[in-house]
Amino acid sequence: MTDAIRLDNLSLSIGGAQILDGVTLSLREGEITGLIGRSGSGKSMTALAMMGLSPRATQLSGKIIMDGENILAMRERALCALRGRKVAMVFQEPMTALNPLQTIGAQVAEVFQTHEKISRAEAQKKAETALARAGLPPEEVSPAKRPHELSGGQRQRAVIAIAIAMKPKVLIADEPTTALDVTTQAEILDLLKSLVKEDGTALLLITHDLAVVSHIADRIAVMDHGRIIAEEAANDFYAHAHSALARDFIPARVRREASAAPKTESVLKAENISCDYVNRRPSLFAEPSLFRAVHNVDFDIMKGETLGLVGESGCGKSTLAKALLGLHPLAEGRAAIGGESFPARDKASMRRLRRKIQIVFQDPYSSFNPRQRIADIVAEPLHLIDAPLTRMQKRERAAALIESVGLNEEALDKYPHAFSGGQRQRIAIARALATDPDVVILDEATSALDIGSRNRILDLLQSLSASRGVSLLFITHDLSVIHDIADRVLVMKNGHIVERGETGRIFAAPENDYTRRLIAAAPVIKWR
């Protein structure tokens, strides 16, 4: 096979810190290369260097050769002509990669107008073709929609449509499936595989999930501390089922401690909860219509229990979480914390009840104020406590919380950008525990973490739940996480709970076809 692009002894440093150290890697036409490694190993920085998008403060050496030219020696004008036409990238978070003010059709059309001298109408027509190739045909998903009107999977397809518009020789996909449910993830991987076959593109699939690359990669490269420490054909790599290298990326099982006594005390109760959204009016004079996102959901969470909530993107999981937090109005039904209805009618009761339920968001970085130090971020919920605390008391409380999640007190004086993804998630957990809540909701809290960080966070949650008696509502699309950590499982589809039961029973003998489809779609490592 012919090399589409070749990295030759690529090194990159920032402020004296070595990020990449002598990276040598070839991507071949019509071949999929999986690049795996832990968070911070240098995978994304390698991708940015290939796109000519390295941060300005970087010092680069080595070569990135494509069509006989060194990308590192190109001027910005030449790089602009290269990006999108010859090398394109699918970013991990499509919502931040897309322009929220432009329609998806306009954003794909912009690629054609940038690289070809064609009219806006011609570009729009080509954009519709590119969107259709990516699984968004105009008759099903209008090109006139904006990113916020699409589901997570649809947004990822829109980003893929932008990347493949000019049929580039090299396509880089940086963690393209981490925030997607298992069925959408399978669809996106099948789409990428078919595009490589149709266009002869060289695909670099960056991920920390060995099960994902086992399904589609032809070659595997492993990165650690800025170096390629292994590179071989996928069949050879997966033949080493018991090698230390392979085990580093296998989702190790997290032990769930069995409780001696059954959990019978209910701390949170949902009774026939329904939630609506108001659809956008088609015209100024038309009556607004309602879309019911959650239908008559009822369940209990017991003290010290971990309840898993699974389902595809758009099924209503996050809307239900917002309703339980009092952040989305209830159309019908009732939520109760400790027997008291929530949200409460008066402010005093609302403050008292809000202390009892907290949330850990999927992306902690976007939920933090980047200008605040960690001490202030962790202490932020303490305003809900009736007795006012002095600044010193707040710092002491923050220090104890930070230490309880495995970080040092030194972290209090740093800013969020100074921490890794796993460390930021620990900080988010510390903040959620600040008011000694009865219930913590975790909304996709481990989806963007590598295997090692994920397991450490799950172990931490298990120990905190056992020591503090905190109940957890764990919302995720990762069935392996639910299998490891949850006592009971709720399966949600189109706003309805279609199956519920003990975790072991759900995975061993699912009764609903939808549950069986979710379990079947979960990626597993294919050892050769």
Same domain, yes or no, for 416 and 508?
yes
Task: Report whether 442 contacts 357 (CB < 8 A).
Answer: no
Mark whether 71 and 169 lie in a shared domain. Answer: yes
Looking at 199, 217, 247, the residue that finishes a domain is: 247
pLDDT at 244: 58
106 part of a folded domain: no
Q: Domain range holding 89?
A: 3-95+162-247
* Residue 320 sits in the same domain as residue 234: no
291 domain residue, yes or no:
no
Q: Is residue 481 part of a domain?
A: yes
Task: Kindly state whether residues 72 and 197 are assigned to the same domain.
Answer: yes
108 lies in some domain: no
CATH number at residue 357: 3.40.50.300
Domain boundary among 214, 247, 280: 247
Q: Check whether residue 230 and residue 319 sit in a common domain.
A: no
Distance CA 46, CA 50 (A): 6
Strand residues in 105-157 grouped as ranges (E):
none
List b or e across 187-198, with b for residues whose CB sees 16 or more CB atoms inside 10 angstroms: bbbebbbebbee
The secondary structure element, H or E, covering residue 186 is helix 182-199
In a domain, 128, yes or no: no
Q: What is the pLDDT of residue 240?
A: 62
Residue 130: per-residue pLDDT: 94
Query: pLDDT 10s digit of each residue in the chain, 528 long?
Result: 688 999 999 999 988 889 999 999 999 999 999 998 887 788 989 999 999 998 888 899 999 999 999 999 999 999 999 999 999 999 877 888 899 999 999 999 999 999 998 999 999 999 999 999 988 999 888 999 999 888 777 888 899 999 999 999 999 998 887 767 777 788 888 888 888 988 899 999 998 777 778 778 999 999 988 999 988 888 887 776 545 565 566 555 555 555 545 567 889 999 999 999 887 666 666 677 788 999 999 999 999 899 999 988 778 888 899 899 888 899 999 999 988 888 777 777 888 888 899 998 877 777 899 999 999 999 999 888 877 888 899 999 999 999 988 889 999 999 998 887 778 888 999 999 999 999 999 988 877 677 777 777 888 888 888 888 899 999 987 777 888 889 999 999 999 999 999 999 999 999 999 999 888 877 666 665
| Whether the Cβ atoms of residue 298 and residue 272 lie closer than 8 Å to each other | yes
Nearest to 319 by CA among 310, 308, 327: 327
213 and 317 inside one domain? no
Q: Examine the domain organization and report whether 181 and 65 are in the same domain.
A: yes
**Residue 113 within a domain:** no
Contacts of 254 (CB under 8 A, 6+ apart): 455, 458, 459, 462, 484, 485
Domain limit, last residue, from 201, 225, 247? 247
Q: At residue 478, what are phi and psi to the nearest 5 degrees?
A: -90, 100
The verdict on residue 18 lying in a domain is yes
In this structure, is residue 126 part of a structural domain? Answer: no
**Whether residue 316 is found in the same domain as residue 241:** no
Alpha helices in 70-117 (DSSP H): 76-82, 94-97, 104-115
pLDDT at 101: 92
Half-sphere exposure of 513 (CA within 13 A, CB side): 0
348 and 487 both lie in a single domain: yes
Residue 42, token pair as written in the block: 């240098």
pLDDT at 95: 80
pLDDT of 260 reads 47
The first and second tokens of residue 62, run together, are 């080595």
Q: Is residue 488 within 8 Å of 308, Cβ to Cβ?
A: yes
Regarding whether 187 and 324 lie in a shared domain, the answer is no
- Model pLDDT, residue 148: 85
Q: How many domains does the chain have?
A: 2
Whether 323 and 437 map to the same domain: the answer is yes
Give yes or no: residues 361 and 464 share one domain. yes
Residue bearing tokens 């040092």: 408
Q: Amino acid identity, residue 345?
A: R
